[in-house]
Amino acid sequence: MPSQHQVKKVGILISGRGSNMMALVEAAGDAYEVVMVASDKPDAPGLAWAHEHGIPTFALSPKGIGKPAHEAAMTAALREAGAEILALAGYMRLLSDEFVADWRGRIVNIHPSLLPKYKGLDTHARAIEARDAEAGCSVHIVTEELDGGEVLGQARVPILPDDDAETLAARVLAEEHRLYATVLADFAAR
């Protein structure tokens, strides 16, 4: 019997401008739908965009309440919205082991480097500094190890002689938007 096609419900976590979130929202279709955009920064520009586009939003800062309460509230809101998968899109806060365990194997992230190279911050400056010929981005499953889970897909760009961290970041970002939407659709269809 053919299995019934199911549109997976995705919650997106952001902290800032949310350009990857916008790309995911705009590419949503048969494989996934975005049911909530959540942010740890109530003034994240991406939140306003999501709200204007009719997507339920959740905004809560952990300041004053602490990480466990913040994550519990986020999980409750995401579950209430029906989220089955979480996509981190510029979410700049480390998730606790408990949160990762709660959503085990169902959180993906986009990272602006060719993992396993350059985990963490300042990836573009580090790639230029190392005189790498190319840079890129990776979508991976989130585990307890920072930027360490299974890589689901990568896109590459050349590093040009005149590049600085900013010009390289812009070239990589255009690839992030394409890659993330494609990989999330594949992941949702798994």
Residues annotated catalytic, as ranges: 111
Comparing CB distances to ligand GRF, the nearer of 78 and 137 is 137
Comparing CB distances to ligand GRF, the nearer of 7 and 173 is 173
Here the tokens at position 167 are: 């010009």
Report the nearest approach of ligand GRF to the CB of residue 117 (Å).
Answer: 14
Q: How many other β-carbons are positioned within 10 Å of the β-carbon of residue 61?
A: 13
Comparing CB distances to ligand GRF, the nearer of 78 and 172 is 172
How far is the C-alpha of 96 from the C-alpha of 143, rounded, in Å?
10
Nearest-CB residue to ligand GRF? Answer: 90
Residues at the contact surface with ligand GRF, assessed by CB under 6 A: 14, 16-20, 89-90, 110-112, 173, 176
Report the nearest approach of ligand GRF to the CB of residue 39 (Å).
Answer: 10
Here the tokens at position 150 are: 């299974």
Residue entry with tokens 């790498």: 132
Comparing CB distances to ligand GRF, the nearer of 79 and 119 is 119
Q: What angle do CA 123, 126, 131 make, to 5 degrees?
A: 130
Q: Residues near 190 by Cβ (< 8 Å), separated by ≥ 6?
A: none
Report the nearest approach of ligand GRF to the CB of residue 41 (Å).
Answer: 11
In a 10 Å sphere around its CB, with 0-12 CB exposed, 13-18 middle and 19+ buried, how is residue 67 labelled?
middle
CB-CB contact of 88 with 13 (8 Å): yes
Comparing CB distances to ligand GRF, the nearer of 130 and 170 is 170
The DSSP secondary structure of 135-183, one letter per residue, reads EEEEEEE--SSTT-S-EEEEEEEEPPTT--HHHHHHHHHHHHHHHHHHH
Report the nearest approach of ligand GRF to the CB of residue 75 (Å).
Answer: 21
Report the nearest approach of ligand GRF to the CB of residue 1 (Å).
Answer: 40
